[in-house]
Structure 1
Amino acid sequence: MSELFDAVDALVASRSPLPPAEERKRLRQAHGLTLDEVAAVLKVRRATVSGWESVKKSVEPRGPEREAYARLLNKLAELYPAPAAPDPAAPAMFTGRSDLAEARTLPTEPPPAAAATAEHETTRPAPASAGAEQAAPHSARPTRSTSTSHRTGARKTVPAEAPAGATDPGYENGPLAVVDVVDGQVLAYCTGGLVLDVPSRSIPALVDWTLNEAKLGQPKLSGPGKDADPLLVLTEAALKRYGLPTALTHEERIAGRIPEDHKVIRQLHRADWKLTKRGLGPWARIYRPAQGSERNCVQLCVPSWHALDARHWGHAAQLPPAELTRVLGVYASRVMTPRGSTAVTGLELMTALHPPTRASEPDADGKRHSEHNPGSLGKDPVDCAPCEAPDGHPLLKDLPRFHVRGPAEKLFEEAYDWARPMTDAECTLRHLVGIDVNMAFAAGANGLPVGLGAPTHVERPVFDPKLPGSWLADLSHVDLSRVKIGKDKWADLEASLLPSPFTPKGERPEGPAWYATPTVAYAVELGYEVRPLEAYVRYDNGRYLDGWYQRLRDAYLATMADLGVHTDMAPADFLAAMDGYRERDPELAAVASAIKATVKGGLGKLRERPRGDGWRPGQPWHALSRPTWRPDIRAAVISRTRINLHRKIVKHAAFTGQYPVAILSDCVLYAAGGPSPLDFLPYRSGKPLPGGFKLGINPGLVKHEGTQSVLWGEGVRERFNAPGLNLARYIKDGTVTDLDNGE
């Protein structure tokens, strides 16, 4: 009878249920097993195990190997159950910490235009024909998998995550991939913990694979816009594999690219791929002319060539591939796929949200044409007004060579850099406390009307606070000792303790000067009459930056919420949450830093200056050919940001009698009896002064920047013999050097 039972068991075992081929591969990879390891245990050839995992070949195990294989898969399935499709509103995300073996879930937010799909696709390499630059197409089947991180040493499992920004089935693997080489195999780390095998043996083949098989990219952010090109981030190991240097020479760093005769560039040219004028550098675009709606562009990012500025991305360039994918993937999903530096991306985001053209309605023949997209800056650049032109601009080529333009010739709207000596009363206090406005320039852009077209010159205009432009006006009569702070309410202030709102250095203007609309409007708001002498106004205008502000605001708030800082916190709870938030998750903190840099850098790009040794004053430079070269928009945002800050300072002074000791951009320094902002900010029953400073994470609210002692401040000023030294520059950590002082 026992023989019959054994026969029955053998018969059942010969038909042991097995999961689909793609699930078999997922389970093996989840445990970090290679094909060779499985083959050795089951005493079969490596090709046999590979066949069992191939959907195309449909090879099934038989006999005792089937029973053993089924047992292995059952054990792995217990350890790594197939993940259910994630909630698109809160996709799971791996920690990005190389020292943690277990993963935790972090709340994330999909982009407004897209929710993540539930499927990934894994790929297997196929042999390339002899001498071919491009690998032959290989089989690919979609799986929802947990992928192994493939780092050397102890292998760690990375839970799957919905790819950032993927709704189009063509982009189901997310917007980008970090390409690395492990044990001789080229791997592409995608968002969601997905790892793709890369068969490409050259950069041209890698570009082809990315466009034709990798399913990388990101849907457009606006109806008339274009989908984002896929981004490939090359590690040092990948650079070596594909014949590129792991670091740039000094000369190459200055040039921003490798030489045009490099063998990889020659390979690209032979394969009919092109590079933009910036060549193959830290950020490179490889493309072929588009054919219809077909995408033919891939962007490269090379961290070891300093593509990821440490001032904005922290230590991201040194992260392992999976963790770097996480950082860039979160940024891509919440802002957009990086197109270069944070400054470049900030500018590109403006265009992505307001494309210059759109398709027209069908004409009589049923054809559509390209037409101007209302609310955009259009596809052609416009000249700025002469007063808005920076020194060296072609509009100023007829000026004498050494002529220095004064306030009546040049619009000079910049952020504050102001300080004053402390009063005797302030010196009796113990602390200097700095508060910093969150995303101040983003808040300044919100709801701001800006010009969309060319300026119109007007003589003796009547000032209109709703009309964007540059105004030549005399504001020297505005007296800060008595200002209007409400509809029928005036305040008497110590004007000597306040900066002027009209100049970056806080000095009172001495005569006519050029100002952006928000600055002149504030003079009227303070209760003074203004009669401009002339103006360059823009009748074609709109709130061009609203969508830009909203997307960056949402990205910042979502990231800070992931770090434990929320918008509805009480003041004390907010200060506690901000204390050490970077250490909770340094990778997400790097994303928050990059988002803030995107704001400032994008606005800075609106007035990009010439680069390179070949430029001479009076000659045009490359940035002038962009429709987004708009110094007037930059000036308007900075003007409004500075005015917003001054308005809060005035309200605070009128209510408390406290005045700032120093201001640097969006950081304000006060003397206080205690070390916390709550020791001088006037909260009553948890509510702030209306119109004054309010603690919180939203753009326009303030956070604690740093605290030092009054003795420290006086000592620093005495050390440099500079009673007006701007202490706000050093309040964060108190470190001051001779180099910082610039003397």
Structure 2
Amino acid sequence: MSELFDAVDALIASRSPLPPPAERKRLRQAHGLTLDEVAAALQVRRATVSGWEAGKTEPRPPERDAYARMLKQLAQLYPANAPVRPEDTAVPETPDVVAVPAPSVAEPAQARTGPAAPIQEPASEDTALRPAAVPHPGATTRPTSRRSPARNAAPVGSPAGATDARFENGPLAVVDVEDGQVLAYCVGGLVRDVPAKSIASLVEWTLSEGRLGQPKLSGPGKDADPLIVLTEVACEYYGLPVTLTQQERLAGRLPEGHKVIKQLVRAEWKLTKRGFGPWARIYRPAQGSERSCVQLCIPSWDALDTRHWADAAQLPPAELARLLGTYAARVMTPRGSTAVTGLELMTALHPPTRASEPDAMGKRHSEHNPGSLGKDPVDCAPCEAPDGHPLLADLPRFHQRTPAEVLVEEAYDWARPLTDAECLRPHLVGIDVNMAFAAGANGLTVGLGAPTHVKNPVFDPKLPGAWLVDLSHVDLSHVKLGKEWGELDSSLLPSPFTPKGERPTGPAWYATPTVAYAVELGYDVAPIEAYVRYDNGRYLDGWYNRLRDAYLATMADLGVGVDMSPADFLAAMDGYRQRDPQLAIVVSAVKATVKGGIGKLRERPRGEGWKPGQPWRALARPTWRPDIRAAVISRTRINMHRKIVKHAAFNGQYPVAVLSDCAVYASDGPSPLDFLPYRDGKPLPGGFKLGVNPGLVKWEGTQSVLWGEGVREQFNAPDLNLARYIKDGTVTDQDTGE
């Protein structure tokens, strides 16, 4: 019988009477209580109490009964018709969700995102449409039906739209179906009823009542469109397949005759050239300055690549909203893959056009936005063009371009045999540069416009471009280190001028940072010709700053701060991903945004029925800029070489392998602290330094020297790049090409 009484008590508590939302706030303020105090007493989040007072959500047991009890007592103390003291209304109110301030970065960066893979150009995607949402007032709210811990339900940091009433529900919502009811899980734990019965009406609801979106990142830019993420159950509800067929996956979209696409057409909605795929954009043509567009993300169609988003697609709706909301707040609302988003972030920070000053008639016009890449694509230089580019259509079909014909700026993939002395050391220790390619972009001057061809130019390290120059005379055994000359063992060093670390044998094309490094090492250069860009600027600075801040803020949430000692940093990095697996996914996604964004600057054709010599879709973008990609990779590789040289000159230690931003050293101990030079806690100036900031290094992994020698012997590969396997020691036949 007692169980029945308990059940009755619980039922009554679930319907504890509450005053209207405005009265709840009045009673709290009348007693001089803050949102934080009430939240602490009820053991809920501050934003939760604010939502109750705004009428966005309603409390559920067990908090509802306690909240009703508090309000009942306050109502007895402060009747509705009683005068209110002036001080009762003076309780300071701050926004429910406060943006995380940008972390301070103590020193400049250098760059990378994963030790194994070079920067690839992702598959072509249509990114031309950039409409903004049309928010409308009015909303329907519902109590949260699946209560998650605040840690999992609320995003870390603020969605960028938190202070904009048009986007009060954040940048996105995860739509799910429970017991026949469609629910939209927004950031901050808000769950809303969705009355839409079709995809077309879901788009209408999102734009008319959703209050979703994100304010523009730059003055001349556009607000981000609302993002709707559909769970598997929601796909079924709206007549979409849970997974794509093999043919649909290859096409990247549903067939044009699918019933959902027909529904959209009847409702006068349009799709971009990408069609209805994992990242579908549904819009109507702009009416004046107003645009109507919603983006869909369908995780079960592989919209969230597991290489970058891990198991995010399998998360419950509230947790997925939290994860994607955190990424959106700190980077931007996802626009597709992390590569697409990385490229879109560049444009969002530097929109191609802006409004002009009023003319004589008081009208404003669209004009070029200084510092941007503009709205029209520019041709690359012939040496910057990848194989198959229309500029190379006249080359013989099987012609292999030489270094004197093509610019090849790629990340390191270099290794050498161990010396006898290194074989006597027990350990191989890998160190990895944090956010290496992002830091390589920081402060880098890149071309903004088209190249100018120059014969016999005088090299200018401040002028971005591609230079045909012979650097074979640069001798690494005798280089300038600051103001002094130093002696090194060049046989143990990779060349800074080629990805494979081989010394050049004659003239070759190089990006400006590579040639500038030859001058820094103390050698004269005499370019034969060049393609330079006189219209230039630090286009990527804002992009770097935003991604750096996103990375550092998320790492700080995971317990890894910027001011830690080397030992504390290594300890904090140990198991940091397990402290909050969702935030660890955000870190991975931020890194992939960096790497993919840089790679997409030279996106190659894939599919599309393309043939060599024909243009492909990406060439129509102003952000198709292989010269900028080359400059970033060049600077990143040079940054790595500079640290290697400083380290070798200081203590005579040389890397045995370098892969992109990971370097492996033979060491007497298993920790980076066993070979990195620190004096009184201070690192070697200009060398490797442990820390979380971009450009500093972390521990990548440790294996034994016996392991390294055994692997090379097993595969009969004395120059096998051990940096590729240093993390966990696993090597397969596929890795070695056997």
The TM tier, using the shorter chain, reads 0.7 to 0.9
Q: Which residue of 1 aligns with 2:322?
A: 326
CA contact (8 A) 1:176 1:232 kept: yes
RMSD: 2.9
Change (3 A) 1:426 1:199: same
Aligned ranges 1:178-217 → 2 under 5 Å? 178-217=174-213
In 1, Cα distance between the equivalents of 2:150 and 2:645?
59
Q: Which residue of 1 aligns with 2:649?
A: 654
SS of structure 2 residue aligned to 1:219: coil
SS of structure 2 residue aligned to 1:148: coil
Change (3 A) 1:699 1:70: closer
Q: Which residue of 1 aligns with 2:223?
A: 227
TM-score by length of 1: 0.83
CA contact (8 A) 1:88 1:162 kept: no
Candidates 689, 702, 707, aligned match of 2:702: 707
Q: Does 1:289 align with 2:299?
A: no
CA displacement 1:15-72 (0-9 Å, x = unmatched):
x984106899xxxxxxxxxxxxxxxxxxxxxxxxxxxx9999xxxxxxxxxxxx9999
Q: Which residue of 2 aligns with 1:308?
A: 304
Q: Which residue of 2 aligns with 1:510?
A: 505
Q: Which residue of 1 aligns with 2:600?
A: 605
Change (3 A) 1:90 1:679: farther
Amino acid corresponding to residue 20 of structure 1 in structure 2? P
Amino acid corresponding to residue 510 of structure 2 in structure 1? Y
Counting aligned pairs with the same residue, the percent is 78
Change (3 A) 1:160 1:252: closer
SS of structure 2 residue aligned to 1:463: coil
CA displacement 1:152-191 (0-9 Å, x = unmatched):
9x99995798861112211000000000001110000000
Change (3 A) 1:374 1:212: same
Task: Report the Cα offset of residue 75 of structure 1.
Answer: 3.8
Q: Which residue of 1 aligns with 2:422?
A: 426
Candidates 482, 486, 494, aligned match of 1:491: 486
CA contact (8 A) 2:103 2:549 kept: no
CA contact (8 A) 1:204 1:273 kept: yes
CA displacement 1:462-507 (0-9 Å, x = unmatched):
00000000000000000000100112x1110000000000000000
CA contact (8 A) 1:347 1:602 kept: yes
Candidates 663, 670, 680, aligned match of 2:665: 670
In 2, Cα distance between the equivalents of 1:254 and 1:710?
44
Change (3 A) 1:604 1:574: same
Q: Does 1:552 align with 2:547?
A: yes
Task: Report the Cα offset of residue 151 of structure 1.
Answer: 7.3
SS of structure 2 residue aligned to 1:712: helix
Which fold has the larger relative contact order, with Cα–Cα distance below 8 Å and residues 6 or more apart in sequence? 2
Change (3 A) 1:55 1:333: closer
In 2, Cα distance between the equivalents of 1:733 and 1:246?
35
Change (3 A) 1:245 1:377: same
Amino acid corresponding to residue 179 of structure 2 in structure 1? D
Q: Which residue of 1 aligns with 2:344?
A: 348
SS of structure 2 residue aligned to 1:633: helix
Q: Which residue of 2 aligns with 1:116?
A: none
SS of structure 2 residue aligned to 1:691: coil
Count of aligned positions: 644
In 2, Cα distance between the equivalents of 1:209 and 1:593?
33
CA contact (8 A) 2:155 2:325 kept: no
CA contact (8 A) 2:160 2:171 kept: yes
Q: Which residue of 2 aligns with 1:7?
A: none
In 2, Cα distance between the equivalents of 1:161 and 1:677?
32
In 1, Cα distance between the equivalents of 2:306 and 2:62?
49
CA displacement 1:387-411 (0-9 Å, x = unmatched):
0000000000000111010100000
Change (3 A) 1:111 1:226: farther
Q: Which residue of 1 aligns with 2:253?
A: 257
TM-score by length of 2: 0.83
Q: Does 1:471 align with 2:467?
A: yes
Change (3 A) 1:491 1:371: same
Give unpaired runs (5+ residues) of structure 1.
1-15, 25-52, 57-68, 92-106, 113-136
CA contact (8 A) 2:668 2:674 kept: yes
CA displacement 1:5-24 (0-9 Å, x = unmatched):
xxxxxxxxxxx984106899
Q: Does 1:241 align with 2:237?
A: yes
Candidates 437, 440, 455, aligned match of 1:441: 437
CA contact (8 A) 1:434 1:706 kept: yes
Aligned ranges 1:98-137 → 2 under 5 Å? 108=100
Q: Does 1:735 align with 2:735?
A: no
Task: Report the Cα offset of residue 293 of structure 1.
Answer: 2.7
Provide runs of 4+ in structure 1 moved above 3 Å: 21-24, 53-56, 69-82, 84-91, 107-112, 137-143, 154-163
In 2, Cα distance between the equivalents of 1:183 and 1:341?
32
CA contact (8 A) 1:111 1:165 kept: no
In 1, Cα distance between the equivalents of 2:556 and 2:103?
16
In 2, Cα distance between the equivalents of 1:428 and 1:161?
48
Q: Which residue of 1 aligns with 2:357?
A: 361
Q: Which residue of 2 aligns with 1:566?
A: 561
CA contact (8 A) 1:412 1:515 kept: yes
Task: Report the Cα offset of residue 150 of structure 1.
Answer: 2.7
Candidates 498, 501, 505, aligned match of 2:496: 501
Change (3 A) 1:17 1:315: closer
CA contact (8 A) 1:475 1:509 kept: yes
Change (3 A) 1:738 1:17: closer
SS of structure 2 residue aligned to 1:223: coil
Q: Which residue of 1 aligns with 2:720?
A: 725
CA displacement 1:189-224 (0-9 Å, x = unmatched):
000000010000000000000011110000000000
